[in-house]
Amino acid sequence: MSFPKDFIWGAATASYQIEGAAHEDGRGASIWDTFSKTPGKVENGDTGDTACDHYHRYAEDIELMREIGIDSYRLSIAWPRLFPDGGTTRNEPGFAFYNRLIDALIAAGITPAVTLYHWDLPQPLEDAGGWANRATVDAFEHYTRACAEAFGDRVKLWITINEPWCVSWLGYMSGVHAPGRQELPAAIAAAHHTALAHGRATRVIKQVVSDCQVGITLNMTNYIVPVDADAEAIKAADLLDAHINRWWIDALTDGQYPVVLQEEYGDMLSSVVLSGDAEILKTEPDFLGINYYSDSFVSTAREVDGALRDGGLFPFAERADTRVPEHLQSTLTDMEWPVTPEGLGVLAMRVHTDWPAIPALMITENGAAYDDEPDANGEVNDTRRVAYLTNHLASLQSAIAQGAPVVAYYAWSLLDNFEWAYGYAKRFGMIHVNFHTQKRTLKRSAHTYKQIIESDRVPV
């Protein structure tokens, strides 16, 4: 159960989820500041105003990273800290913060992996249409170039966009994420513009930063159908697979979207794809970031009327029964996601097989929400997360042994943090955060991860 000696062990977070300091040093408002302050959008009315106060406590958190022994830390940059209006007016204190953070990571011997966009779009850009507006791609390119110029001498690992599927479909179709819109044409436009943004940003980073690696991070899953599934269920699973898994990978490797979705979206897509876009979409990927949490299930297809196509629901999720099978109900995490560790290895092998042009894979997120709290001795005995971690890593190691080019694993997450529409109600961290006192406590899973990192082995 050993991993390659040069395997990269990391942990991941995101700016809006941990930084706090939402109104400090010139930071502008993001769509998540707006959304979280909109009554009813986030559990308990929680916001990222303080979060883990990482903006002020980053040195302490880096010390904890050192204690765990991670090689690399995946952070995201808050666009509104650098360009509060989303345009070209720089906020120098924002650049200074990330220079301090990056320098402190390097001084601690921890390699920074920087995500340029982890959902905190400057609000003025959303006021102009957000990701449904093609002009946002231009603004993202300008922001990317500024980051590459400012940090590219020390940052060599770049992720352009985190989970463009969530950006597009949770933000503009279901509305459960910022900016909370429910408009199918806007979601399709955002799905195209985020793919374009990745293509444009990849080229800018490569122009500015020597010897760097650039990729995108996608939330991916395996769609599992019963052995006796009928043709309609298999068709529904394929549609969901194209929708969640293939859209951005096909674009960045081939410049084309899945045909089944081109047909499904019709002129809602063709009206936003311009001549020359295919060449922008297609890149030479250095790696693909995969966020994997759990498998998905399609038991039977369901006929729905066309009304859903323009309503507030996914046009596809309603076309199939995607409930978790009975035999996995007992494994649900606090997010009600089933625990399916073998799926991580299966997915890594599938991506390697289906998209051989991708030279390397990084698991940029994998983890689980469990509500373990400190016991009377102040210890957090998160045994379920320890099992989740070790079983998923065992599955990943098996895929590597079969040839999957997985070079890194970033646990989600370093810290308990703001879990979007769930606020602070869901705890994904290896480090427990008391959000009243900001006290950090390494959970048992952090100690287990430390042992795994030291030995490059998963305890059996």
Q: Which of the residues are catalytic?
A: 163, 365
Q: How far is the CB of 281 from ligand GCO (least distance, A)?
A: 22
Contact window for ligand GCO (CB under 6 A) among 20-28, 36-44, 158-166, 320-328 = 158-166
Q: What is the DSSP-derived secondary structure letter of residue 414? A: S
Residue 219 near ligand GCO by CB under 6 A: yes
Query: 448-460 burial, b if ≥16 CB within 10 A, otherwise e?
Result: bbbebbeeeebee
Q: Which of 55, 97, 412, 424 touches ligand GCO by CB under 6 A?
A: 412
Q: Is residue 419 near ligand GCO by the rule CB under 6 A?
A: yes
The residue behind tokens 């909370």 is 180
- Alpha-carbon distance of 274 to 277, in angstroms, equals 6
Backbone phi and psi for residue 106, each to the nearest 5 degrees, phi listed first: -65, -40
Strands (E), 118-164: 157-162
Backbone torsions φ then ψ of 151, nearest 5 degrees = -120, -5
Binding of ligand GCO by 291 (CB under 6 A): yes
Residue 166 interacts with ligand GCO (CB under 6 A)? yes
CB nearer ligand GCO, residue 33 or residue 419: 419
Among 308, 348, 341, 340, CA closest to 324: 340
Is 163 one of the binding residues for ligand GCO (CB under 6 A)? yes
The residue behind tokens 């503009």 is 172
Residue span binding ligand GCO (CB under 6 A) among the ranges 130-138, 160-168, 222-230, 370-378 = 160-168
Cβ proximity to ligand GCO: between 166 and 272 the closer is 166
Closest to ligand GCO by CB, 334 or 379: 334
For ligand GCO, the closer CB: 108 or 335:
335
How far apart are the C-alpha atoms of 202 and 215, rounded to whole Å? Answer: 8
- Residues 6 or more apart in contact with residue 71 via CB below 8 angstroms: 8, 9, 10, 110, 111, 453
Task: Name the minimum Å distance from CB 28 to ligand GCO.
Answer: 21
Note whether 14 binds ligand GCO by CB under 6 A.
yes
- Comparing CA positions, the residue from 314, 50, 33, 308 lying closest to residue 166 is 314
Asked if 36 is part of the footprint of ligand GCO (rule: CB under 6 A), the reply reads no
**Closer residue to ligand GCO in complex, CB, 46/419:** 419
Transcribe 125-177 into DSSP letters: HHHTTGGGSTHHHHHHHHHHHHHHHHHTTT--EEEEEE-HHIIIIIIIII-SS
What is the per-residue binding string for ligand GCO in 361-380, x denoting contact by CB under 6 A?
A: ----x---------------
Using alpha carbons, select from 332, 426, 440, 335 the residue that is nearest to residue 17.
426
Quick one: 136 or 294, whose CB is closer to ligand GCO? 294
Minimum Å distance from CB 291 to ligand GCO? 5
Contact string 63-92 vs ligand GCO (x = CB under 6 A): ------------------------------
Count of CB atoms situated within 10 Å of the CB of 229: 17
Q: Which is nearer to ligand GCO, 76 or 111 (CB)?
A: 76
CB of 320 within 8 A of CB of 193? no
**Is the separation of the CB atoms in 344 and 392 below 8 Å?**
yes
Residue 162 contacts ligand GCO per CB under 6 A: yes
- Is residue 424 close enough to count as binding ligand GCO by CB under 6 A? no
Task: Tell me which residues touch ligand GCO (CB under 6 A).
Answer: 14, 17, 162-163, 166, 219, 291, 365, 412, 419, 428
